[in-house]
Amino acid sequence: MAILFSAASLAGCQQKSTPVSSLPAEDMEAVIQKKVFYQDLPSGSGIEAAGTGFYVVGDDSPYLYLLDASYTIVEKTALFDTTSFASGRIPKLEKADLESMAHFRYKDADYLLLLGSGSAATRNKAFIVKQSAPAEQVRALDISPFYTFLQKILARHSSEVLNIEGLAADDAHFYLLQRRLAPGVNTIFRFDKTKLLEYLMEGRALPDAATFYIRLPQLGPYEAGFSGACIYDDKLFFSASIEQSLNPVDDGDVLGSFIGFIPLYTLGRAGNATEPLSVTALPLHHADGSLYTGKAESVVVQEKDENGGYKALLVSDDDLGHTELLEVTLQPKTKVKE
């Protein structure tokens, strides 16, 4: 059962939430089919579908990038002042740390919502990009009260610092994914879509939040942490990674990256912070079986195949100012010949 929080009590691909049968995650493997490297797109952190192409944002960049169907950068839009980008990367202590992005429709217009991680005062920002003609329009918001509200929810079960890494939307809800730091827990915040948009677009009251707690796979003592999200086929797809870092600001060695999904109708089983819902996540690997050692940051699902598998795109950050795009298939596990 979800825990519902209100402000008063504390003083991405969209479909309806109904169960759909498909191949279970534990019967799948995640295989990288293609990689595209971007020298001049720093620190890719979010990806969202854009018609036949894709939007990409980097947490070290002031731009929103548009890729065409062949993954070529065809356009970029400045989200905020680009002065601090003179060196090719925004300094760590100054960046808005845009980590997540999702499409929404409001009053007959299409928008993108981009969120900062909330892990520092400079990161308590949201950007709303109107996609309608005559041109893209960008609106910047300081949503510090919203992030303070989320931090207070986290304080109920740990001293963990807020670190929002994923954002997804279906017809009824927005889902924000909190990346865990030890001794915390991966957390999903769910908001009524209409009420959150009224807060963001019209300045109305903070909406209530339902919270769900998730346990992801471990490598040694380290548990994977959420890094991105998308909704497709009535499932919350997520990317995740294991990074040896003790805080949400400094980078660390990457031990592995994952993709997985949570059927939306099962979220009600994830309401206990001390006994989180255990979820299968598939390690990313190459066709030769070797593990992928980059840091997956975000995911968007493109299609479902006739075998119950999926085709997805992920963006990956190498912590050196570059981005890698991964074309990945979630497919039935390869049977080992005896």
Q: Is residue 68 part of a domain?
A: yes
Q: List, for residues 60-106, the tens digit of each pLDDT value.
A: 899 999 999 999 999 999 999 989 887 788 888 888 899 999 999 99
Tokens of residue 152, six digits: 């207070």
222 vs 205: CA distance, rounded Å: 38
pLDDT at 19: 38
Q: Is residue 220 part of a domain?
A: yes
Q: List, for residues 233-271, the tens digit of each pLDDT value.
A: 999 999 999 987 655 555 567 888 999 999 999 998 887
Q: Is pLDDT above 80 for 307?
A: yes
Q: Is residue 72 part of a domain?
A: yes
Q: Tell me the average pLDDT of the chain.
A: 89
pLDDT at 16: 42
The total number of structural domains in the chain stands at 1
Q: List, for residues 164-209, the tens digit of each pLDDT value.
A: 999 999 999 999 999 998 778 999 999 999 999 999 999 999 999 9
Q: Is residue 285 part of a domain?
A: yes
| Dihedral pair phi/psi, residue 280, rounded to 5° | -70, 135
Find the length of the chain: 338
Q: What predicted TM-score, i.e. pTM, was given to this entire model? A: 0.92
Parent domain of 123: 27-332
Q: Is residue 338 part of a domain?
A: no
Residue 337 per-residue DSSP state: P
264: left (phi over 0), alpha (psi -120 to 50) or beta: alpha
Query: Which one-letter amino acid corresponds to residue 326?
Result: L
Q: Is residue 11 part of a domain?
A: no
pLDDT at 131: 84
96: left (phi over 0), alpha (psi -120 to 50) or beta: alpha
pLDDT at 246: 54
In CATH, what number is assigned to the domain containing residue 198?
Answer: 2.120.10
Q: Is residue 14 part of a domain?
A: no
